Homo-oligomer: A and B are copies of this chain.
Amino acid sequence: MVNVAILGFGVVGSGVYEVITKNNEIIKQRAGKKINVKYILDIRDFSNHEAANLFVKDFDTILNDDSVEIIAEVIGGATFAYECTKKALLKGKNVVTSNKELVAKYGHELLQIAKENNVKYYFEASVGGGIPIIRPLKTCLSANQICEICGILNGTTNYILSQMINNDKTLEEALKEAQEKGYAERDPSADIEGHDASRKICILSSLAYGKRVDSDKIYTEGITKLSLEDVKLASKFGYVIKLLGHCKKVGDMLDVEVSPALVPKHHPLAPVEDVFNAILVNGDAVDDTMFYGRGAGKLPTASAVVADVIDIAKSDGFDPSLMWTDEGSDKIIDHLDSKKKFFIRLEGVKDVQTIKSNFDAVDVLNEKNECVFITGIMSEKDINDKLTALNSKIVSKIKVI
């Protein structure tokens, strides 16, 4: 039998309890031993809950009980959760979490502590909710050099964009609807400004390259500047707009960013709609492989947390394949130097020939008072210089993959 303590009994915490309880028999079979929830830490009153006797309000009760081998930290945030995780690892307890903020910010440090104390720090649920992605990256694709990771990592923004693309909703209308359906928070900034996706690509790129990618250094642009007109014009060129977390190896440097991007309609990420997430990974042996599913939600996220618990129950010790070191933050390419194609809308320019030759553009659409085109591959810095020289109003400038 393995004793587990759940820290935090919110949406994910109650899901973890539910999955362990409901699927106890099948979990026992797969783990080779029974998984037992011994404590639940929450300061709120759960005296009427079926598991009322498991609730404690003091973390030390859990920390000082040597029979607790695994802690599921589902508190969120990077303060109290950080303290609890550090103390638990130092005490020789394994920790699993869905806390992307904590892993993105302190992953390198917490993994190092786990290594020194010969325990595991697992966080499958921190990226892509229920979608298996951390374990496939570290294990299933372990024979590969990872060349590129490109993913729809935030369900809220993908829902909003799907509504704009399929139902002609404006961003404001779609956001309001997402809030009404519970897909977006009352303060939606972490989602629509791209910070949530940024933490997730930070974790994936750190794992893929074994070196810490500093989340503060990731260029992050949300969907707030996108208009319905952008979505419609992108469609005329054969693209849909998605918010992508993107990481690419360029020599020994990394090109990492979060931004809206035009995705060709035949690309595997294009048909990923509503709150679903998908992550495309390109490895030098496996080529393209994609992982798709629910990126959030009580039971999908709990599914990933409990999978980590089961995996730890099966084997002792630190896992060397899930590790990154505190170096390499100088290896991030400045996003202005990163080379790619752009979709551009300019107001007040009518000289199509200049556009074509300056920007290596094949087709130029004349829409109302605008020139709309897709550039050749060039750095954003070059593009900005050329746009400044044209002295026209830039309506939109969006990356194209």
In the complex, what residue of chain B is closest to A277 when comparing beta carbons?
A: B289
Contact yes or no, B289 A27, CB < 8 A = no
Copies of chain A in the complex: 2
Contact yes or no, B124 A285, CB < 8 A = no
Determine whether A171 belongs to the interface, using a CB cutoff of 8 Å to chain B. Answer: no
In the complex, what residue of chain B is closest to A129 when comparing beta carbons?
A: B286
Determine whether A353 belongs to the interface, using a CB cutoff of 8 Å to chain B. Answer: no
Contact yes or no, B144 A303, CB < 8 A = yes
- The verdict on A32 contacting B288 (CB below 8 Å), with A23-B145, A27-B143, A144-B23 known, is no
Question: With A and B bound together, what is the CA distance between A287 and B303 in angstroms?
Answer: 9
Selected contact of A286 from candidates B143, B288, B293, CB within 8 Å: B293
Residues from chain B with Cβ under 8 Å of A27 in the complex: 142-143
Question: With A and B bound together, what is the CA distance between A139 and B32 in angstroms?
Answer: 12
Interface string of A271-292 (1 = CB under 8 A from B): 1110000100001111111111
Residues from chain B with Cβ under 8 Å of A141 in the complex: 132, 303, 307
Contact yes or no, B310 A285, CB < 8 A = no
Choose among A132, A300, A304 the residue with the greatest number of B CB atoms under 10 Å from its CB. A132
Interface string of A347-359 (1 = CB under 8 A from B): 0000000000000
Residues from chain B with Cβ under 8 Å of A138 in the complex: 30
Contact yes or no, A293 B290, CB < 8 A = yes
Besides the known contacts A26-B145, A141-B303, 5 further A-B residue pairs in the complex with CB atoms under 8 A apart: A30-B320, A32-B320, A132-B140, A278-B290, A291-B291
Interface residues on A, range: 35 or more
Interface string of A301-339 (1 = CB under 8 A from B): 011101101110011000111000000000000000000
Least CB distance from A358 to B in Å reads 35
Residues from chain B with Cβ under 8 Å of A285 in the complex: 15, 19, 23, 130, 299-300, 302-303, 306
Residues in A128-174 with C-beta less than 8 Å from chain B = 130-132, 135-136, 138-145
- The verdict on A143 contacting B302 (CB below 8 Å), with A271-B271, A320-B32 known, is yes
Interface string of A205-242 (1 = CB under 8 A from B): 00000100000000000000000000000000000000
Residues from chain B with Cβ under 8 Å of A131 in the complex: 286, 289
Choose among A29, A130, A294, A311 the residue with the greatest number of B CB atoms under 10 Å from its CB. A130
Question: With A and B bound together, what is the CA distance between A26 and B285 in angstroms?
Answer: 13
Determine whether A10 belongs to the interface, using a CB cutoff of 8 Å to chain B. Answer: no
Contact yes or no, B132 A289, CB < 8 A = yes
30 A–B contacts, CB within 8 A, in A order: A20-B143, A23-B284, A26-B145, A29-B210, A29-B320, A31-B320, A31-B321, A132-B141, A136-B136, A140-B304, A141-B303, A142-B307, A143-B302, A143-B303, A144-B303, A266-B271, A268-B292, A270-B271, A283-B303, A285-B299, A285-B306, A287-B300, A289-B291, A289-B292, A289-B294, A290-B290, A290-B291, A290-B292, A292-B292, A314-B321
